[in-house]
Copies of this chain bind each other. A is one copy, B any other.
Amino acid sequence: MKILVTGGAGFIGSHLCDALIAREDEVWCLDNLWLGRENNIEHLRKDPNFHFIKLDLLDRVALNELFAASDFNAVFHLAANSDIRAGTSDTGLDQRLNFQTTIEVLEAMRTHQVKRLMFASTSAVFGENEAKLNEMDGPLRPISFYGASKLAAEAYISVYAHTLGLQATILRFPNVVGERATHGAIFDFIAKLKNTPEQLEVLGDGSQSKPYVYVKDLVEALLLTFQANLSQFEVFHVAGEGFTTVREMAVIVVANSANPEAALAFTGGDRGWPGDVPRFDYDTSRIRGLGWVPTFGSTEAVTHSVKRIKDNGF
């Protein structure tokens, strides 16, 4: 199949490109290289089925030219500002990079009659809610611009799917960990320890707890739902089994660092920043019902990721 992956040089996108190339799809990896890195896809460049396109999704003319020239069978729309915290200082950032990019993708798909969309959404659409939420549950009351922009994108995808013939599958991701991560707590912790190896500053009181998923397990979930026989509009929650606290993550990172004796220094408070959801869990029985079996539970995923990042030069 001819598949467009937006954000294809990013953390999750590059792993997805790997998997699609392994499946012998023809892959157009689109990225503006704002968060994505050419390093992540360098190894794919020699494959004749792999095409890297440096393009900003907000460049409507260029996007339409690409769609007109390429005859895609499906789009995996992963391009986004994936750094939730960044959205707190620039209230328009997530609107442009998460919501408006989705509108541009939807319109290009409509114009060029591309019928299949896979979309990367987030648990952050729920906001602060400790119930074990399934895909039909409300309320949806995001507390971060990231969550709001993704919910806004979901809303528009719903309309295109219900009235304009698009078949859309939305996966709501939890925190994702693994090789090539460009952001997130593990990434931050490693960067901080490089600056101050004797002490690791941890935002909040460390009690924030969420489910994590290993990036390759997540890619499996994307491919599984992509291949499944689904209706016009479907939503799936994805997460590894269990959850992990920020304190546990910090301990795992320190234990694998150059200085396993580094002290943890908590900044205090129940959350890392305004918009951080302190506790979250959700019901993943729907995607498990399709046969998805992640390799790693939440804390295993964290541990594995830290070790792999260490192997690649911590």
Contacts and interface: CB of A to CB of B under 8 A. Distances in A.
B148 A159 contact: yes
Contacts of A148: 152, 155-156, 158-159
B159 A143 contact: yes
A270 interface: no
Contacts of A163: 88, 143-144, 274-275
Contacts of A162: 127-128, 141-143, 275
A170 to B, nearest CB: 10
11 contacts: A125-B155, A127-B158, A128-B162, A141-B162, A141-B233, A143-B163, A147-B155, A148-B156, A151-B152, A152-B156, A159-B275
A142 B159 contact: yes
Given A107-B91, A137-B138, A151 B155 contact: yes
A159 B125 CA distance: 11
A147 to B, nearest CB: 7
A165 to B, nearest CB: 10
Contacts of A33: none
A125 B136 CA distance: 14
Contact-residue size bin, chain A (C-beta under 8 Å from the other chain): 35 or more
Interface in A235-257: 235
Contacts of A143: 158-159, 162-163
Top 9 A-B pairs, shortest CB-CB distance: A138-B138, A152-B152, A148-B155, A143-B162, A151-B155, A163-B274, A141-B158, A148-B159, A136-B139
Contacts of A151: 140, 151-152, 155
A144 B95 CA distance: 20
Interface of A: 88, 91-92, 95, 99, 103, 107, 110, 125, 127-128, 135-145, 147-149, 151-152, 155-156, 158-159, 162-163, 233, 235, 274-275
Nearest to A138: B138
B235 A139 contact: yes
A105 B135 CA distance: 31
Residue among A92, A137, A140, A149 facing the most chain B CB atoms (10 A cut-off): A140
Residue among A110, A135, A144, A148 facing the most chain B CB atoms (10 A cut-off): A148
A155 B142 contact: yes
